[in-house]
Structures are given as C-alpha cells and as structure tokens.
Amino acid sequence: MISVGYGENGSVMRWSGVFWALGLTVAALLSVGILPSTALSEDLDAILRKGNELRRVGRDREALAEFQRAARIANTARVNAQIALAEQALGLWVEAETHMAKALADLSDPWISKNRKVLEAALETVRQHVGSVEVWGTPDGAEVLLDGKVAGHFPTVGPISFAADEVVLQIRAPGYTGVTRTLRIPIGGVVREHADLRRKPPTPVNVAIRSPEEKLPRLESLPPPAESPVPRSPLKRNLAWITGAAGVAALGTAIAFNVGAADKFTAFDRSCGLVPGTGQPAHDPTAGTTLTDEACRGLYDDSNSLRGWARVGYGAGAALGLTAVVLFVSSRPESATTSGPAHLSCRTGPASVTCGGAF
C-alpha cells in the first residue's frame, strides 16, 4: 500500500523514497531468485542438444557433465535416461543401471514411452556388466557392510549392484560374533547370502577356592585408627555449582541449535533435494515451490552448521556436567587417620612366621 500526502495547495505529493524502496526490493528479489530471472531460466532442451552433440563426437565426459547440469534444472525421466546413456559409454555400469531404471520407472513421460524399447535394450546391455548382492539373516538390526561401506541392516539388505567380480561382506552386531566373507559375483547374476550371527559366550570369571585343609595365616588384630573430619572445601563446591550451571546452559543451547537444524532441514526436504551422482543440494521442481538452488544450498548448509554446533553444545554440556560431579564428590568431608605409636607383633606357625604391625 503506497501512502500519499496533500500539500497546502491540495496537490498530491508522492513520496519518491517509496518508489526507490520498491525498486530496490524488486532488484533484491531478482538477485536471490525469488522472482523470475533470465539468468536462471536456462533452456533445458538446448543443454540436452549440446550433450548429445558432444556424445556424437566421442566427448562423453563433457556430455555427462552437461546432462548432470540439466538434472540440476529439472530432474526428469528424460534427463536421467540421457545421464545413463553417457555413463554406459564411460563404463560406469552401476551408475548407469541406477539412472536408467529410474528413468524407465516413469510411465507418464512421452519421451520415455517413445524410446522405451531402445532404453530397455540399453539397460539389458548395462546389466550384462554388473552383478548384484542380496544378504539376509539374523539378528534384526545387524549392520551389513560391503567393501567396507554400510549397505543396510538385517533382516534384508539389497539387492545392491556391483561392477566388480568379488566383494567383501562384513556383518556385525553388539553382543554377537561378527562374520567376514568374500563373495564372488557372477556378471549379470545375483548372489544371495544368508548369515545367522551367534551370540558371544559369557566372559568366564575365575574364582579361587581354597581347600579345607589349607589354613589362612592369622595376624594380630590392630586397633582401628582414630579419624578426624576434614572440613569441606568451599571453593570446590562453588566451582561445582558454577560448572553445573554452565553445563545446563550448554545443553539448553545445544537443544536450541538442534531444533533450528531440524526446522532448516524440514524446509529443505519440503522443496529441495540432493542431485543424484553429485550429492549437491538443488531445488526440486516437483515440489511446487519457488525456492532456488541457492536458497536450497543455504537451507542445507544452515542445517548442517546448526547440527554441528548442537554436537559441540552436547559435548560441552556433558564435559561440564562431569566436571561438576567430580568437584561435588571431591568437596565432601574426608577422614584423616591419626597416627599412633609404631608397633610390630609376630606369630610363629609350623613352617612359617607371620608378622603384622603399624608404623
């Protein structure tokens, strides 16, 4: 709403400052991508044409980069198919299978429907260069690693594709004996592996039992030492209260950071996503929002930053809390043993001499 005023002669006096402010606001919105901008409206078809021209002259790496750039603008089934074809040409078999399967799963894309037979033949060719692994077993929740990377958790993991002819399988769970195996993967085939982890046996406890005939040596009973209380340390107790309060404040701050990180990630997840293959945050065009790639990257970075500060706060709170407990315990009154006169007494046995004393 624009405000106007009237001068003494009845003429309308417009506030030029308002128009300047509106102009600056529009410019700012264009710069961050909230309003449409020609710098952000790249021609998707032109990028795809350029990628296909690069493929025709054998420059498949550059073509893949162009198709990935197109995916950051619109991650459509057609773009995924073009990425898969470039990855197939480069021998990136696992990635090509993933992108081609994703593209063929879209039954509504007209370009996919028109070229489905060609794309299915390409997927069949790609699958002749990969094998897959599926692992199942017990206990539920056991961690499954393939070639040192976490692949999932029991009861079932996979199938997961690999271009290698063998893979190292590791399965582990707390309280269970782990399993390590090397699996040979037939190209174009599937390996299904089953494993049931065994519980670790309880740790034996060694208890020494003396025979009834064995007699224990006896010592002269000594009078208990006299104890005198040692006063509390007021400095330690004050430091304990201060440290405890600081620990509570650190935990409160960590919780606030964690809540902020969750809010940022929720906003990111609602309108953005990670680009397959690169892992870069970008706007999801199917979300129906007006966020830009830059805004998505800001939400993603802010979420990670706040989560990192939350971890620092939790660590600091735990450390300060532990320090406060140690200070409270060490400030309690202690007893000091009064020293008496030194003495020594001995008793002889059939084959030994037992002595005891206080000094």
- In this structure, are strands 176-177 and 198-199 parallel, antiparallel, or unpaired? antiparallel
Return the pLDDT at 347. Answer: 65
pLDDT tens for 67-116 read 999 999 999 999 999 999 999 999 999 999 999 999 999 999 999 999 99
Residue 174 has pLDDT above 50, yes or no: yes
Q: What is the SS3 assignment for 167?
A: strand
Return the pLDDT at 224. Answer: 66
Residue 167 has pLDDT above 70, yes or no: yes
Distance CA 313, CA 315 (A): 5
Q: Which CATH class is domain 131-199?
A: mainly beta
Return the pLDDT at 75. Answer: 93
Burial of 143 (0-12, 13-18, 19+ CB in 10 A): middle
Q: What is the SS3 assignment for 81?
A: helix
Whose tokens are 């898969």? That residue is: 84
Return the pLDDT at 35. Answer: 39
- Protein fold of 44-127: 1.25.40
pLDDT band, very low/low/confident/very high, at 38 (cuts 50, 70, 90): very low
Residue 61 has pLDDT above 90, yes or no: yes
Instruction: Please choose, from the candidates 245, 102, 263, 129, the residue with its C-alpha nearest in 3D space to the C-alpha of residue 186.
Output: 129
pLDDT band, very low/low/confident/very high, at 62 (cuts 50, 70, 90): very high
**Bridge partners of 132?**
161, 190
Domain-by-domain residue ranges, the chain? Answer: 44-127, 131-199, 233-332
pLDDT band, very low/low/confident/very high, at 12 (cuts 50, 70, 90): very low
